[in-house]
Structure formats: C-alpha cells, structure tokens
C-alpha cells in the first residue's frame, strides 16, 4: 500500500480523498494554489505544497509543478480527484514515467475514452447501444450532410468534451451553421481541441449512469445506477439512486450489460458509464474515467467506500467484494449546492460569514468550506454536496426537505432556495422528470413572473 499520496485537486473532493487516506493510515500532501492556502484539506494534510498562483493553468493544470511537488515530498502516488487533470492521459503518463503511481485507469484508456468519437466506437464494439451519430466533422458542409442522414434535431458535441461544454443544439439546417461555430469555439477554449461530432437529439431522455470498479485481475463490479437528469446547461445539480424510472428487470439488464462491456474493454480502476434513456431504450453516451462528483449516493446506497477502493485498486489489490455480496438499501439523493444566484446561476464568490450544516440520521455533507473561508472566483462554484438517504423514496424526500431547511450559508448567495423549490414540485416527487425538465421549469417560472 502507498505510504504517501499527493492530492492534486481542490475543494470537497480533495478533503474526501484526504479522509480516505487518513483512515487507511496513508500520509497526504495537499498541492494547492495561492488562494487555497487556507482550504480545509490543506489545513488537515500532513504536508502542503503551493504549486502556483490562482489561475488554474498556473497551478492545478501545471503538470510539471504537481509532479515536482510529489517528488519533493516523496509521495509515491498522485490522486487527481475529478476535474483539472483527472482525465488527462498525458499527465497520467508523465506521472508514471517519474516512478509515481497515478490513481486512476491506465493512460491509454483515459485517452481512448476521452475521445468521444472513439469511445462511441469502442462502446459499440463492446456490445453497448449507441445514439445515431456522425464521425468526426471537419466543417459545416460535413455537418449538414450528416444531419440530413441522422435527422433533426441534432446535438453538435466536442469530441474531447465533458461537463456540458462544447455542445450546441440545432433544430434545423438554418440553425446548424451557427451551432457548429459556437460549439467549435467553446471546445477550442475549454479543451484546446476544436474537433466536433454529432448525435441525434433525444427530446425527453433521462441521464442514467452506472458506477463501476475493476481490478487488474479482470474482476468487475457495479454499484447500481444513478439518475442525474436534473440538469441546467448540461450540468447536474441533483442526482438520486436508484432511478425512479427503472424497474428491477431494467436495472439488472443495465448493470449486467455495463459490466460485460467493461470486461471486454479491459478497463481497470474506477469509472462511470453514462447513458441516455428514453422509451425503454438505453444509449451509451460517454465514459468518465475518474471518480464522479456524485459518487457519495452510491456509497451510501451500498455502504461502500469508493475512494478507498480506488486507492486499493491503484495499488494492485483485487476488488474487496463480489457483486453477489453487494446489497443496495433504500434510496439516496444528492443536491449540489453552488455559490450562485439561484435565479440566474451567476457565480457569487465571497467570504462565508455563517455556516451551519444539517445533521441527523442518514444525512451527509461533503464540503471543504467553513465560516470565515472565502469562495474564490477562480474555480467551480460548488461549495457543498448534501446527501440524504431513506428507507423509502418518500422518506428520503421528507428528510431532504428537513435537511435543506437546516442548511445555513451566509455571506454568499447559494442555490439552496432553488433546490428546495425543485424537490417539492409534484413532478419531482412523482419521479416524472427528464434532462430538459429543469430548463422547462425555469422558463415557465420566468414567463409567469413577466406576466
């Protein structure tokens, strides 16, 4: 097992990794930017190294500085968490070339799954159904030709994309040229790669994903599915498990199909296979080769430490449990709380002057914030994740209502009021929602307010 792990990320996931390491008797090094010097995980880590100024490109995306910090402190592994360099194959190769273990899948697999066009091909070869789509698109003319074959509406997507960036919808030929240009510009800015492809746009899909874990001995398990359909700008804000849209037979089929594909791909470590689900049919969308933001709901449903297992897998240990011994219990939901204006999602950085998190049975809060700390303007606006479990879905939602009502964050605006409103709508309570539901809900609210 590793003696010391350098944590090459920030925020709540950095603290989550530190806690897993501490429970395993592993020392930690917090690699941080100048503005994160007072972050909770930096305060708690055994050692800390400043890797650069606030701008992510000079710190959390600075490969050389991170590797130098690991070598300076004698860390024998680097955990990238999520975001930043977590799915950067070049970084993973550099880490391994310096005799340091990268806690994640093999660089080759990161590269293959990071190319969304290649990932579609590999998924199809592994037996997964895919959405009708195109090959790599070099120009608008190729896009127009492909769209005529696929049928409108279509979604233009970044080949190196993720997080909802580099995506544009076109309902017809008139809209497609502008959608192509906007998606290309955003892809170039966000990923340094302007390559695009196209998929058929599904009108009312749900976003269903499967958490998998795989060891070097060829064993693979899954931790059920997560329903991540409550999204704004293609970014998740609420996730729950199990999905209220699936029955037991569909759930079993999805898990078995996903595990079979992962085995054929030869994938190792932790990952998530994401699908769109509509009219009883699953379509492979992409695979995330890292730990997910929403991993805690799977942990609570199965009473299973995903981050600890991820570290053990990186050390070459076999999976600690077999699929037949995994027993999900109840229902779990996660609300992402962002420092944003809940009416327009405008980021609201600043100093947190008051901080009180809810507690009680089956209530978990993952956050690196505290009273007196500052939410910087330089990074993602996520400040906390509220995770709530219940024996029944209704009991879970009642507990969530109570917990959101107890959560106090002062000094910055947050999305708590919106989360309270959304989770109490009849559509959400009844499980009748899809990927575009939240935008429709917000549009309806806006229209009513303008009357």
Q: Annotated catalytic, 327?
A: no
Is beta strand 363-366 parallel, antiparallel or unpaired with respect to 382-390? antiparallel
Q: Which of 120, 206, 290, 399 is catalytic?
A: 290
Q: How far apart are CA 184 and CA 190, in angstroms?
A: 10
Establish whether the linkage from the previous residue to 185 is cis, with ω within 30° of 0. Answer: no
Between the two ends of the chain, the Cα-to-Cα distance in Å is 63
| Separation CA 312–CA 412 (nearest Å) | 38
Catalytic residues: 290
């Amino acid at each position: 097992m590793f003696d010391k792990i350098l944590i090459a990320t920030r925020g709540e996931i950095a603290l989550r990794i530190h806690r897993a390491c501490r429970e395993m008797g592993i020392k930690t090094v917090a690699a941080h930017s100048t503005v994160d010097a007072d972050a909770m995980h930096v305060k708690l880590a055994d050692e800390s190294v400043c890797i650069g100024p606030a701008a992510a490109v000079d710190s959390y995306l600075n490969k050389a500085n991170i590797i130098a910090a690991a070598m300076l402190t004698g860390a024998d592994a680097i955990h990238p968490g999520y975001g930043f360099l977590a799915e950067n194959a070049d970084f993973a190769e550099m880490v391994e070339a310096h005799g340091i273990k990268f806690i994640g899948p093999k660089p080759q697999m990161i590269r293959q799954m990071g190319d969304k066009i290649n990932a579609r091909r590999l998924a199809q070869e592994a037996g997964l159904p895919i959405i009708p789509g195109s090959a790599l698109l070099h120009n608008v003319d190729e896009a127009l030709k492909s769209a005529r074959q696929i049928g409108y509406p279509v979604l233009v997507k970044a080949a190196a994309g993720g997080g909802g960036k580099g995506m544009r919808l076109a309902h017809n030929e008139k809209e497609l040229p502008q959608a192509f240009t906007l998606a290309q510009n955003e892809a170039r800015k966000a990923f340094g790669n302007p390559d695009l492809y196209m998929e058929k746009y599904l009108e009312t899909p749900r976003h269903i994903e499967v958490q998998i874990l795989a060891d070097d001995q060829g064993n693979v398990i899954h931790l059920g599915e997560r329903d991540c359909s409550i999204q704004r700008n293609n970014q998740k804000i609420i996730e729950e498990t199990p999905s209220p849209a699936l029955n037991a037979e569909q759930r079993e089929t999805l898990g078995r199909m996903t595990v079979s594909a992962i085995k054929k791909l030869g994938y190792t470590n932790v990952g998530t296979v994401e699908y769109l689900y509509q009219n009883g049919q699953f379509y492979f969308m992409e695979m995330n080769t890292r730990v997910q933001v929403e991993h805690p709901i799977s942990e609570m449903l199965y009473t299973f430490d995903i981050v600890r297992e991820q570290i053990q897998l990186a050390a070459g240990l076999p999976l600690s449990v077999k699929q037949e011994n995994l027993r999900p219990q109840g229902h779990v939901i996660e609300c992402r709380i962002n420092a944003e204006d809940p009416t327009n999602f405008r980021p609201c950085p600043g100093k947190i002057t008051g901080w009180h998190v809810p507690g009680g049975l089956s209530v978990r809060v993952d956050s690196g914030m505290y009273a007196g700390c500052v939410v910087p303007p330089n990074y993602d606006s996520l400040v906390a994740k509220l995770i709530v479990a219940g024996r029944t879905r209704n009991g879970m939602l009642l507990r969530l209502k109570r917990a959101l009502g107890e959560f106090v964050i002062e000094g910055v605006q947050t999305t708590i009021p919106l989360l309270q409103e959304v989770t109490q709508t009849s559509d959400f309570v009844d499980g009748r929602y899809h990927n575009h539901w939240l935008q429709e809900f917000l549009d309806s609210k806006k229209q009513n307010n303008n009357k």
